[in-house]
Amino acid sequence: MHDVIHDLLGLYNYWIVIILMMTGFYTVIARPNLIKKVIGLFIFQTSVFILFISMAKVEGGTAPIIKEGISVYSNPLPHVLILTAIVVSLATTALGLALVVRIQEAYGTTNEDDIHVQDEED
């Protein structure tokens, strides 16, 4: 019993990350609205950030800024990777939303089902 609780606490972060990831994935594949799809991607991206940062945490550690008298720091490398990934996520979100705006202007809708209907009529 003690082992189960130990595992549950130790893996809790990863499991929530997976639930969030799947929430985003579901939004991308099941929702027809294009803005909602971009937001689904955004949720997915952020859950990956949480996964990396959870792995970087060291029990009893502190932020990786060197200071006298502190010996345990969390791992700085995932922080660096995710810091730049967040900026790239802005780049992808902005490009995705710009495409949505252009699709709205060309088709008059942001609903995937309506776009398919219009494409088949042509």
Rounded CA-CA distance 1/67 in Å is 40
What is the token pair recorded at 44? 């997915």
Residues in the chain, total: 122
How many residues lie near other proteins (CB under 8 A)?
A: 84
Is residue 106 a contact point for other proteins (CB under 8 A)? Answer: no
The one among 3, 5, 87, 122 contacting other proteins by CB under 8 A: 87
What is the token pair recorded at 52? 């990396």
Is residue 115 a contact point for other proteins (CB under 8 A)? Answer: no
What is the token pair recorded at 9? 């606490």
Is residue 59 a contact point for other proteins (CB under 8 A)? Answer: yes
What is the token pair recorded at 19? 């639930």
Q: Please report, as residue ranges, which positions from 25 to 54 form the binding site for other proteins (by CB under 8 A).
A: 25-27, 29-33, 35-36, 38-40, 42-43, 46, 49-50, 53-54
